[in-house]
């Protein structure tokens, strides 16, 4: 059903009725006003049980109108909502004391997600839509998100995620009146259908095996019984926690993070050559060739940069996991890039905020940002999943047999 007569609209355009976007916006407001008033009238008719101007024996009857100003994403406009003599009528389309039209709250949350402060949102609404909302009203709207975010954080999860990525981003959060750099961890799972799903968000200062044990026990209680591969960013204590909760899962340490860590203390003039020689290690055809390349790297750079070879050797069990898989699987698990792109988005959206007053406020913004990204991910699957999935079924046949028909 369309509320717009298209022939009449064409005629008005030809006649020059609409000469700007403001004219079109005003017409939308007029349509909204008409719809709201008509619908409210019908709601009252249903409540009273008889039509307007129809005789009735009931003691309750129409008793004029309440004028109120509605704030919408098209701007402000006045409406007249009918009332009854006994004040028992509760309009549903525009409830009593409600002045924000559906869509306005979504707009405010969208602006908040994009990193705008409460004050900035207030000025934005005034400049673009011509109506003022108190900072308290805007804060109240954003606070509604917390309850929804907590429900999301404790929602039931799938029984299996073939691959889980875990990475951290650092936000400035005020703790005991001191602004600290606090790590915010995001867990991203790949479903059996090859879809990306954000499993949860955790904010904490400490990376310990005890902390990660709590996180993994949490997702297990929420339903996750099996994980095939964890792709992680060398988080302290995470390996031990994985082995305790998901002993059959394999661990792949992020190669990109390992390279960054290796190059951190390399002099500028050596960096290009060191990076090239490291590439021969992680781009080797198989693990045996990779170990030979690492030995050659040590022969060239071991004396000058002994910590690089030591780090690769000490973490080799987790750095080399991806060599056992075909290229399609390797490309997916050798780095935590799928989640790093999300972290970069969060960084952009939180940059203007400076610091967060509480962990709860940081969690709220991260939740909104992840949900925005999740909507985009829901529209597609992992590239080449049709190749990856059968390979995982073979490599992890014992586990996958429970989930394949």
User: Is the separation of the CB atoms in 60 and 71 below 8 Å?
Assistant: no
**pLDDT confidence of residue 12:** 62
User: Which of 78-82, 211-215, 246-250 holds the top average pLDDT?
Assistant: 246-250
User: Is the separation of the CB atoms in 56 and 62 below 8 Å?
Assistant: no
When computed from its CA atoms, the radius of gyration of the chain, rounded to whole angstroms, is 29
In the predicted model, is pLDDT for residue 130 greater than 60? Answer: no
In the predicted model, is pLDDT for residue 38 greater than 80? Answer: no
**pLDDT confidence of residue 88:** 86
Which residues share a beta bridge with 188? 165, 198
* Rounded mean pLDDT, 231-254: 92
**pLDDT confidence of residue 389:** 95
**pLDDT confidence of residue 2:** 47
- Name the more confident of 372 and 73: 372
User: Is the separation of the CB atoms in 360 and 146 below 8 Å?
Assistant: yes
Comparing 17-31, 39-53, 338-352, the range with the smallest average pLDDT is 17-31
CA pseudo-torsion sign 204, 209, 211, 212: positive
* Rounded mean pLDDT, 377-384: 89
In the predicted model, is pLDDT for residue 378 greater than 60? Answer: yes
**pLDDT confidence of residue 3:** 47
**pLDDT confidence of residue 92:** 65
Does residue 162 sit in helix, strand or coil? strand
Does residue 195 sit in helix, strand or coil? coil
**pLDDT confidence of residue 73:** 64
**pLDDT confidence of residue 127:** 59
Comparing 86-95, 127-136, 299-308, 318-327, the range with the smallest average pLDDT is 127-136
Comparing 18-22, 131-135, 282-286, 377-381, the range with the smallest average pLDDT is 131-135
What is the pTM (predicted TM-score) of this model? 0.71
**pLDDT confidence of residue 25:** 65
- Reading the block at residue 124, the tokens are 């934005």
pLDDT tens-digit profile of 300-359? 999 999 999 999 999 999 999 999 999 999 999 998 887 877 877 777 767 766 778 888
Which residues share a beta bridge with 251? 230
**Residue 293 half-sphere exposure, CB side, CA atoms within 13 Å?**
20
Between CA 125 and CA 62 the distance in angstroms is: 36
Q: At what angle do helices 135-153 and 104-113 cross, to 10 degrees?
A: 80
Does residue 55 sit in helix, strand or coil? coil
In the predicted model, is pLDDT for residue 1 greater than 60? Answer: no
User: Which of 21-35, 83-97, 128-142, 297-311 holds the top average pLDDT?
Assistant: 297-311
**pLDDT confidence of residue 63:** 84
User: Is the separation of the CB atoms in 205 and 182 below 8 Å?
Assistant: yes
pLDDT tens-digit profile of 178-218? 888 888 899 999 999 999 999 999 987 667 788 899 999 99
User: Is the separation of the CB atoms in 155 and 197 below 8 Å?
Assistant: no
**pLDDT confidence of residue 98:** 67
* Rounded mean pLDDT, 122-150: 66
User: Is the separation of the CB atoms in 167 and 233 below 8 Å?
Assistant: yes
Structure confidence at residue 155 as a pLDDT band (50, 70, 90): very high
- Name the more confident of 399 and 405: 399
* Domain residue ranges in the chain: 1-101, 103-153, 157-400
Between CA 281 and CA 38 the distance in angstroms is: 72
* Rounded mean pLDDT, 32-44: 72
**pLDDT confidence of residue 370:** 86
**pLDDT confidence of residue 196:** 95
- Name the more confident of 254 and 103: 254
């Amino acid at each position: 059903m369309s509320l717009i007569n298209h022939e009449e609209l064409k005629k008005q355009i030809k006649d020059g009725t609409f000469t700007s976007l403001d004219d079109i916006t005003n017409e939308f407001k007029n349509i909204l006003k008409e719809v709201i008033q008509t619908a409210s009238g019908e709601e009252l008719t249903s409540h009273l049980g008889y039509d307007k101007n129809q005789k009735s024996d009931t003691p309750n009857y129409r008793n004029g109108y309440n004028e109120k100003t509605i704030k919408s994403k098209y701007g402000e406009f006045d409406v007249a909502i009918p009332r009854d003599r006994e004040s028992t009528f509760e309009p549903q389309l525009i409830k009593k004391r409600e002045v924000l039209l559906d869509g306005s709250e979504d707009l405010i949350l969208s602006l908040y997600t994009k990193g705008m402060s409460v004050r900035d949102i207030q000025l934005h609404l005034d400049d673009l839509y011509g109506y003022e909302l108190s900072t308290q009203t805007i804060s109240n709207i954003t606070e509604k998100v917390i309850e929804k975010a907590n429900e999301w954080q404790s929602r039931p999860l799938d029984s299996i995620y073939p691959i889980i990525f875990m990475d951290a981003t650092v936000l400035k959060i005020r703790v005991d009146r001191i602004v600290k750099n606090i790590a915010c961890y995001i867990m991203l799972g790949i479903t059996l259908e090859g879809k990306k799903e954000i499993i949860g968000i955790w904010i904490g200062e400490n990376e310990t095996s005890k902390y990660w044990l709590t996180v993994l026990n949490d997702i297990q209680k929420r339903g996750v019984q099996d994980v095939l591969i964890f792709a992680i960013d060398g988080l302290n204590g995470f390996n031990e926690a994985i082995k305790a909760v998901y002993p059959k899962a394999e661990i792949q340490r992020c190669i990109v993070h390992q390279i960054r860590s290796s190059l951190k203390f390399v002099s500028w003039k050596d960096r290009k050559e060191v990076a090239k020689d490291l590439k021969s290690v992680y781009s080797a055809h198989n693990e045996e060739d990779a170990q030979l390349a690492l030995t050659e790297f040590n022969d060239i750079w071991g004396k000058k940069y002994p910590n690089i070879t030591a780090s690769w050797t000490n973490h080799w069990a987790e750095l080399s996991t991806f060599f056992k898989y075909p290229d399609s699987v390797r490309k997916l698990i050798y780095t935590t890039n799928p989640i790093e792109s999300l972290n970069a988005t969060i960084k952009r959206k939180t940059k203007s905020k400076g610091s967060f007053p509480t962990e709860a406020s940081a969690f709220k913004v991260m939740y909104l940002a992840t949900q925005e990204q999740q909507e985009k991910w829901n529209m597609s699957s992992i590239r080449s999943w049709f190749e990856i999935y059968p390979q995982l079924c073979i490599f992890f046949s014992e586990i996958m047999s429970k989930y394949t028909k």
